[in-house]
């Protein structure tokens, strides 16, 4: 099949008086064989966030499906070209000539006219057999195959979905839509082994899926479903790369979406409808013991022990086995008579064979003969509806003779015994009456009264704990950081050392001890800048401090550092006369100002 | 003669208790404060005197006044049992057991009432049995304490690096307890969303579908404890020992109380309403339990093959 590779484009000047909004439509190719797909792209330029054009989903023998949009940006000659592209797949289903459009497309406040695009669909030639295919159904179709189309309520049957296809590749993932939501209960879908079938002389690959269906209510149900599957088609917009060539033989690689030489295209295939007429169970001839079992069953009952004393328990074991709605089967309902105390029937075993069609249930019921007069258990009856014979069947087992001895003296009527024997523990003696009343509670609580965990503290408790842990974690991290970085520790210590030194200096000034005052002043300067700059005491010199402060430090600050150091040295070592010395309060205030300014510097 | 006198005195006593209870009920209805101890004592005396109706009314008056204690429910269960109302007795015992899961008296009476009704307790898996050994409040208390221990251990591990290893081990242990408590709490929380219920009538027929003519799946004796998992119109979906079926809503009595604060769902109208109440008592609030709805509808429309 030859493809048109040229762009069959209908570029029309849809420029409006307002703006540079243009719409360009491409369809490639314009001639298709049945079963082939073309790509329709609508390119919109100059509009902000345009909506998808209203392309119909079906035109004649074409099925059109929106596959997505993409924003395209190109640079040509230094100019940017931005466009929104809406993509559609056009699937040819029938032979003929069809036209898509004309369409009216509202975009950017204007209504654009998209002209009609002609498509010609020709019959496909099968290269192998030379057949001509003029319908999509010749390529792929799906149909139901029901074991029964007129079942009774409760009669389970197999429903098979068969998907037949030829000359296409299918992705494994499928989805089924549109099954009836009520009336029929569908079991788990299970894929059966595939195969090949011929239909109208054509050979098809067939995939089959089976579900066990249980009719829940009488009525007519139309299985008119749609199957969403994905065709694996060869990429058209991307040439095979070196990577593709290298990995082409790697198992599964060509099927990976986004990789390889194929891509997945969704396709909805209608499943040929099927009507299931569910018939109600006949009321005529329905036995009283019928409890809903539909199918073909066997029933047996065993009583043990048959020799016992009055007041001792015996077990009736009822086995139901067969094909049918075992889920709907309940234990046979029967009355052992007044001579027995009866407990609820328990489901002791339940299972099915490998195919799931034949299943088995075992029920057990505990009975206690009240006295030795209870020498026989009446017959047990199990009935079911046979849908093949369309008649009710009744299976009866018994009666069962018993040898009941009188109860041993002093045992009275016997204890109350639990009806559900616990595994490994035998029957449980429970007592013979209820326990007496309880005294009033120690504290009455009103219904609306909040409990402790509903009060504010209780509600906040988890958050308090989390906060405590967060604080501890923060402290631990801080401690670790300080342990790794002694410079940081000293820097953080500098203000505290300065405050301590200032307190000493202030105390010395109040006592009039000039020597101690200047010693404290000196110590303050050395401690502060030593910690701040991580310098040993002997290296704390004005020039070093000014140098570390860098060029960002104000010149006045540098002068003040030098001056204060000089003042301290003069007072401590030169022994200047008291009257020539500066006022100590002023010196102290200058030092405070210097320290405040130093804290603001970027070191 | 003595017998006649005794009978007269009993009748007089019954009338007196009846009047007393009626007075308490009237006081409660009038909004007057109820003395719970006095009402409880009257109920007990009525029970001892054989006036089961008076005892039931008194215990129910206590519940109606907001005094929802397990002792009240237990005693009410006893009165109901003696009066022959086994399903309601089972319901009261079960509700009392929710608050006191390890109380042997409540468990024994519940078991006895179930035996008498011919029903059995629902079988629970081992983890759920463990979760039900403690009440919701107990699980919350344990979880809160374990959470505190976890926090203290972690904080100490941060603050005291030398002891970090044993402290982290202790924190792991506390974390395990927190997880276990969360599991226990979730089990009780599950009862809010999918409560248990007691079958009211004997021979209730659970059907395969919420339709009157649907096939009967199994039959339940009165007093059976089932789990409500959904609803569809006037039908409720129940589960018993792994078997599912549909019963009419009127055939079961849900085990929920208005006192359960978490047993509420916000409705689109902004008010809150337990969905069970909306379904079973015809309340005017909006049914709002999407998780229940999802479970109750047979969705087979889009099977993935």
| Inter-chain CB proximity B118 and A344 less than 8 Å | yes
Q: Say whether pLDDT at B265 is over 60.
A: no
Q: What is the pLDDT of residues A539-582, one digit of tens each?
A: 888 888 988 888 778 889 999 999 999 888 888 776 655 555 57
Q: Distances in Å between the alpha carbon of A592 and those of A499, A505, A520, A602, B188?
A: 9, 11, 13, 18, 67
A420 part of contact set with chain B, CB < 8 Å: yes
Residue B145: the pLDDT is: 95
Is A429's Cβ below 8 Å from some Cβ in B?
no
CA atoms within a 13 Å half-sphere pointing along the CA-CB vector of B53: 5
Mean pLDDT of A21-45: 84
| Whether the Cβ atoms of residue A327 and residue A347 lie closer than 8 Å to each other | no
Contact B109 A181 (CB under 8 A): no
pLDDT band at B56 (very low <50, low <70, confident <90, very high): very high
Closest CA–CA distance from residue A213 to any residue of chain B (Å): 11
On whether any CB of chain B is under 8 Å from the CB of A433, the answer is: yes
- Looking at chain A from residue 233 to 292, which residues have their Cβ under 8 Å from any Cβ of chain B? 280, 291-292
* A186 interaction partners in chain B (CB closer than 8 Å): 300, 303
Among the partner residues A294, A328, A446, nearest to B217 by beta-carbon distance: A328
Six-digit token pair at A268? 């909805």
Tokens of A298: 């066997």
| Local structure of B260: helix, strand or coil | coil
Q: Which of residues 127-186 of B touch A (CB under 8 A)?
A: 137, 140-141, 144, 147-148, 150-152, 154-156, 158-159, 161
8 Å CB contact of A444 and B214: no
Interface of A with B in 291-330 (CB under 8 A): 291-292, 294, 325, 327-328, 330
For residue B37, what is the nearest residue in chain A, using CA coordinates?
A440
Judging contacts by C-beta atoms under 8 Å, the chain A residues touching residue B297 are: 181
- From the CB of residue B50, how many other CB atoms can be counted at a distance below 10 Å? 13
User: Is the pLDDT at A411 greater than 80, yes or no?
Assistant: no
- Taking CB atoms and an 8 Å limit, are B301 and A177 in contact across chains? yes
Confidence of residue B258 (pLDDT cuts 50, 70, 90): low
State the residue for tokens 């021979």: B203
- Residue A126's Cβ-count burial label (10 Å; 0-12, 13-18, 19+) is middle
B158 → closest Cβ in A182, A462, A476: A476
Q: A41-81: per-residue pLDDT in tens?
A: 898 888 888 888 888 888 888 888 888 888 888 776 667 77
Contact A344 B298 (CB under 8 A): no
Nearest CA in chain A to B215: A292
Test A441 with B109 for CB contact under 8 angstroms: no
Task: Name the band, by pLDDT with cuts 50, 70 and 90, for residue A186.
Answer: confident
Strand A169-170 vs strand A262-272: parallel, antiparallel, or unpaired? unpaired
The rounded percent of chain B whose pLDDT value lies above 90 is 53
B301 → closest Cβ in A178, A185, A189: A178
- Which B residues, 245 through 264, put their C-beta within 8 Å of a C-beta on chain A? 257-259, 261
CA-closest candidate to residue A429, choices B115, B173, B249: B115
3 state SS of A217:
coil
B214 close contact with A: CB closer than 8 A: yes
For residue A386, what is the enclosing H or E element? strand A380-386
- Beta-carbon separation of B216 and A291 below 8 A: yes
- If you average pLDDT over every residue of chain B, what do you get? 78
Q: Please report which confidence band the pLDDT of residue A414 belongs to, taking 50, 70 and 90 as the band edges.
A: very low
Radius of gyration of chain A (CA): 47
Is B301 an 8 Å CB contact of chain A? yes
CB proximity A11 to B under 8 Å: no
Residue A52 near residue A69, CB atoms below 8 Å = yes
pTM of the model: 0.48
- Indicate left, alpha or beta for A211 from its phi (over 0: left) and psi (-120 to 50: alpha): beta
B113 shares contact with chain A (CB less than 8 Å): yes
Would you say A343 and A393 are in contact if contact means Cβ atoms under 8 Å apart?
A: no
Residues 53..72 of B with a Cβ closer than 8 Å to A: which? Answer: 66-71
CA distance B243 to chain A (A): 9
Percent of chain B with pLDDT over 70: 73
Structural contact between residues A598 and A524, judged by C-beta atoms closer than 8 angstroms: no
- B66, A448: Cβ pair inside 8 Å? yes
A350-391 residue pLDDT tens: 888 877 778 888 888 888 888 888 888 999 999 999 998 899
Nearest to B109 among A216, A331, A435 (CB): A435
Count contacts between A and B (CB, < 8 Å).
Answer: 181
CB–CB contact B303 A179 (8 Å): yes
Of A33-47, A84-98, A258-272, where does mean pLDDT reach its minimum? Answer: A258-272
Residue B190 sits at the chain A interface (C-beta within 8 Å): no
B108 touches chain A (CB under 8 A): yes
**A 145-164 residues with CB below 8 A of B?**
153-154, 161
Task: Tokens for B266, please give them.
Answer: 């916000």
CB atoms A434 and B148 under 8 Å: no
DSSP H/E element including A169: strand A169-170
pLDDT at A601 over 80: yes
Q: Which residues of A touch B140 (CB under 8 A)?
A: 453
Of the listed ranges B189-193, B253-257, B261-265, the least confidently predicted one is: B261-265
Residue A31 dihedral angles phi and psi, to the nearest 5°: -120, 125
Contact A472 B41 (CB under 8 A): no
A579 touches chain B (CB under 8 A): no
């Amino acid at each position: 099949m030859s493809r048109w590779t040229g762009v069959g484009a209908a570029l029309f000047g849809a420029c409006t008086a307002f703006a540079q909004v243009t719409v360009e439509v491409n369809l490639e190719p314009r001639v298709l064989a049945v079963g082939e797909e073309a790509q329709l792209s609508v390119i919109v330029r100059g509009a902000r966030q345009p909506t998808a054009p209203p392309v119909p989903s079906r035109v004649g023998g074409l099925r059109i499906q929106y596959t997505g949009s993409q924003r395209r940006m190109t640079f040509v000659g230094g100019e940017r070209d931005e466009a929104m592209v809406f993509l559609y797949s056009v699937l040819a289903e029938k032979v003929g000539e069809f036209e898509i459009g004309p369409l009216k497309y509202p975009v950017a406040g204007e209504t654009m006219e998209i002209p009609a695009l002609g498509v010609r669909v020709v019959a496909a030639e099968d290269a192998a057999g030379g057949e001509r295919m003029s319908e999509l159904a010749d390529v792929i179709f799906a149909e139901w195959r029901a074991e029964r189309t007129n079942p009774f309520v409760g009669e389970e049957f197999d429903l098979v979905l068969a998907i037949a296809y030829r000359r296409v590749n299918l992705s494994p993932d499928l989805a089924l839509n549109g099954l009836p939501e009520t009336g029929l209960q569908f079991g788990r879908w299970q894929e059966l082994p595939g195969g090949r079938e011929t239909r109208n002389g054509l050979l098809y690959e067939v995939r089959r899926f089976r579900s066990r269906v249980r009719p829940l209510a009488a009525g007519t149900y139309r299985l008119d479903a749609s199957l969403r599957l994905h065709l694996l088609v060869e990429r058209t917009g991307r040439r095979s790369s070196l990577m593709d060539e290298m990995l082409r033989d790697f198992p599964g690689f060509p099927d990976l979406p986004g990789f390889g030489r194929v891509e997945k295209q969704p396709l909805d295939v209608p499943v040929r409808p099927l009507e299931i007429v569910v018939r109600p169970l006949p009321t005529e001839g329905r036995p009283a013991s019928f409890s809903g079992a539909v199918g073909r069953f066997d029933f047996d009952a065993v009583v043990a022990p048959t020799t016992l004393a009055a007041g001792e328990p015996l077990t009736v074991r009822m086995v139901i086995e067969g094909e049918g709605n075992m889920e709907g089967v309940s234990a046979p309902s029967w009355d052992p008579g007044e001579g027995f105390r009866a407990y609820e029937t328990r489901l002791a075993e339940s299972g099915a064979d490998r195919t799931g069609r034949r299943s088995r249930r075992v029920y057990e019921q505990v009975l206690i003969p009240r006295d030795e007069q209870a020498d026989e258990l009446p017959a047990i009856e199990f009935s079911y509806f046979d849908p093949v014979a369309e008649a009710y069947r009744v299976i009866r087992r018994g009666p069962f003779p018993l040898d009941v001895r009188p109860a041993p003296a002093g045992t009275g009527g016997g204890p109350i015994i639990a009806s559900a024997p616990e595994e490994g523990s035998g029957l449980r003696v429970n007592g013979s009456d209820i326990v007496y009343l309880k005294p009033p509670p120690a504290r009455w609580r009103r219904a609306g009264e909040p409990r402790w965990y509903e009060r504010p503290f209780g509600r906040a408790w988890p958050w308090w704990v989390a906060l405590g842990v967060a604080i501890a974690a923060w402290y631990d991290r801080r401690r670790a950081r300080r342990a790794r970085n002694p410079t940081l520790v000293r820097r953080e210590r500098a203000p505290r050392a300065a405050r301590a030194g200032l307190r000493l200096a202030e105390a010395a000034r109040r006592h009039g001890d000039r020597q101690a005052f200047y010693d404290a002043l000196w110590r303050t300067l050395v401690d502060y800048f030593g910690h701040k700059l991580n310098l040993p005491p002997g290296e704390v010199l004005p020039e070093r401090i000014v140098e570390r402060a860098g060029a960002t430090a104000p010149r006045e600050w540098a002068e003040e550092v030098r001056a204060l150091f000089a003042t301290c040295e003069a007072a401590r070592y030169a022994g200047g006369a008291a009257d020539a010395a500066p006022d100590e309060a002023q010196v102290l205030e200058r030092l405070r100002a210097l320290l405040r300014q130093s804290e603001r510097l970027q070191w | 003669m003595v017998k006649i006198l005794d009978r007269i005195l009993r009748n007089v006593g019954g009338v007196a208790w009846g009047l007393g209870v009626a007075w308490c009920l009237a006081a409660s209805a009038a909004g007057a404060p109820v003395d719970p101890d006095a009402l409880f004592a009257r109920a007990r005396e009525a029970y001892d005197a054989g006036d089961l109706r008076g005892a039931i009314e008194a215990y129910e008056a206590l519940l109606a006044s907001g005094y929802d204690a397990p002792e009240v429910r237990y005693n009410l269960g006893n009165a109901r049992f003696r009066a022959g109302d086994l399903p309601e007795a089972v319901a009261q015992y079960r509700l009392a057991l929710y608050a006191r899961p390890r109380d042997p008296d409540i468990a024994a009476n519940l078991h006895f009432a179930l035996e008498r009704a011919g029903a059995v307790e629902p079988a629970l898996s081992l983890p759920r049995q463990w979760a039900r050994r403690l009440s919701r409040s107990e699980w919350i208390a344990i979880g809160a304490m374990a959470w505190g221990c976890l926090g203290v251990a972690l904080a100490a591990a941060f603050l005291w690096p030398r002891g970090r290893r044993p402290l982290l081990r202790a924190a792991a242990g506390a974390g395990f307890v927190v997880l276990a408590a969360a599991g226990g709490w979730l089990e009780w929380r599950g009862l809010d969303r999918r409560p248990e219920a007691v079958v009211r009538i004997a021979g209730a027929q659970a059907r395969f579908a919420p339709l009157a003519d649907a096939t009967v799946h199994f039959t339940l004796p009165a007093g059976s404890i089932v789990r409500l998992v959904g609803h569809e119109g006037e039908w409720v979906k129940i589960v018993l020992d792994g078997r599912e079926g549909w019963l009419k809503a009127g055939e079961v009595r849900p085990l929920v109380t208005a006192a359960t604060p978490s047993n509420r769902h916000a409705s689109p109208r902004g008010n809150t309403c337990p969905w069970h109440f909306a379904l079973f008592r015809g309340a005017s609030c909006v049914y709002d339990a999407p998780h229940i709805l999802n479970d109750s509808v047979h969705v087979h429309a889009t099977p993935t093959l």
